[in-house]
A = this chain, B = another copy of it.
């Protein structure tokens, strides 16, 4: 009698602007093998997907073979789990709607699930990180944009059309900064790579105090953070304002969701207490009184380099197994 082959691994793919990482990950989140390639050097999304699939096939062939792989999960900007598509990603060169899951499934012969980066991060935090065991929590992804995802009673909240969690485009100030999305006053205009740099410039313009930031060749969340670490007053003020804005917005988010925890991931969350302390202070001041002091807020403890493929691998486990050959 033929034996059932138990598939104990998945492929997790993290698509970000800087590069695409694809890895074989086992049930417990061990990364068996991992490689990366460019994201932006391909002429079309089709060319990119074809190359990516060839690379994945090669990686799998060299590391245990196809029979060990259950499915594939992809974390990508503006990806939608319900439709399987990347939908009008503002930061990617591929315009319109790209049926990424279908394209990859056809080339790989395996089930493929896609999710935007915040949703993938949340799945990873639940499977392998600090949200393990939590039923209701929010994960924020702070980087070039502000993504979020929350879980409701143990399940990812996806919303009617898979678009839930667009926290970055909530309005925090109607008369505020112009957002790249065309709206005004979006949270993302303040709490993002671009937003923090703008705030730093505002802070410097408003004051004639000396600042290490004034002599920086390039302002970035990281260089501003380094100024904070050296005690630079205006850099600290920059993160204070950022934390304050985020604190108000998160208090509103938490007042409607009532999460056990809010977990911050992404490059900007690495600013640590310079961001988190003012954020928490404002949060507690503004959150609904009945839950004041009851929400855990902290930065992700997963390793930065592996978080994204781990999250993508968690998405892979969430799709139904499928094979061309049975």
Query: CB within 8 Å of B: which residues of A?
Result: 1, 3-4, 6, 8, 10, 27-30, 70-71, 87-88, 128-130, 132-133, 135-136, 148, 150, 152-153, 155, 157-167, 169-171, 174, 181-183, 248, 251-253, 255-261, 273, 276-277, 280-281, 285-286, 288-291, 294, 296-298, 301, 316-318, 320-321
Residue of B nearest to A279 (CB): B1
Chain B residues near A174 (CB-CB < 8 A): 248
A124 nearest CB across to chain B (Å): 11
Q: Across the interface, name the chain B residue whose C-beta is closest to A1.
A: B277
Given contacts A128-B28, A132-B27, A252-B171, contact A163 B281 (CB under 8 A): no
Q: Which B residues are in CB contact (< 8 Å) with A157?
A: 136, 152-153, 157, 257
Q: How far is the CB of A224 from chain B (nearest CB, A)?
A: 20
25 contacts between A and B (CB under 8 A): A1-B277, A1-B281, A6-B130, A6-B301, A27-B128, A27-B129, A28-B28, A28-B29, A70-B133, A87-B290, A133-B318, A136-B160, A150-B256, A152-B153, A152-B157, A153-B158, A157-B157, A159-B257, A163-B288, A166-B288, A166-B291, A169-B255, A174-B248, A181-B288, A260-B321
Query: Closest residue of chain B to A276, judged by CB?
Result: B1
User: Which chain B residues lie closer than 8 Å to A160 at the CB level?
Assistant: 135-136, 258-260, 294
Closest CB-CB distance, A107 to chain B, in whole Å?
Answer: 21
Cβ–Cβ < 8 Å partners of A10 in chain B: 133
Contact with A290, one of B28, B166, B167, B182 (Cβ below 8 angstroms): B166
Q: How far is B290's CA from A166's CA once the two chains are assembled, in angstroms?
A: 9
**Across the interface, do B4 and A248 meet the contact criterion of CB distance under 8 Å?**
no
The answer to whether A290 touches B163, judged by C-beta atoms less than 8 angstroms apart, is: yes
Contacts of A281 in B (CB 8 A): 1
Cβ of B255 and Cβ of A167 under 8 Å apart?
A: yes
When chains A and B are docked, how far (Å) is the Cα of A298 from the Cα of B7? 12
Residue of B71, B152, B159, B248 touching A258 (CB-CB under 8 A): B159
A252 to chain B, nearest CB (A): 4
**Distance to closest chain B CB from A160 (angstroms):** 4
**Cβ contacts under 8 Å, A27 to chain B:** 128-129, 132
Q: In the assembled complex, how far is the CB of residue A12 from the closest CB belonging to chain B, in whole angstroms?
A: 13
Which 9 pairs show the lowest CB-CB distances between chains A and B? Answer: A159-B258, A152-B152, A133-B317, A170-B252, A166-B288, A164-B258, A160-B260, A166-B255, A28-B28
Q: How far is the CA of A64 from the CA of B318 in the complex (A)?
A: 33
How many whole Å from A39's CB to the nearest CB in chain B?
Answer: 22
List chain B residues, Cβ under 8 A from A152: 152-153, 155, 157
- Given the known A-B contacts A28-B128, A166-B288, A289-B182, are A253 and B256 also in contact in the complex, defined by CB atoms under 8 Å? yes
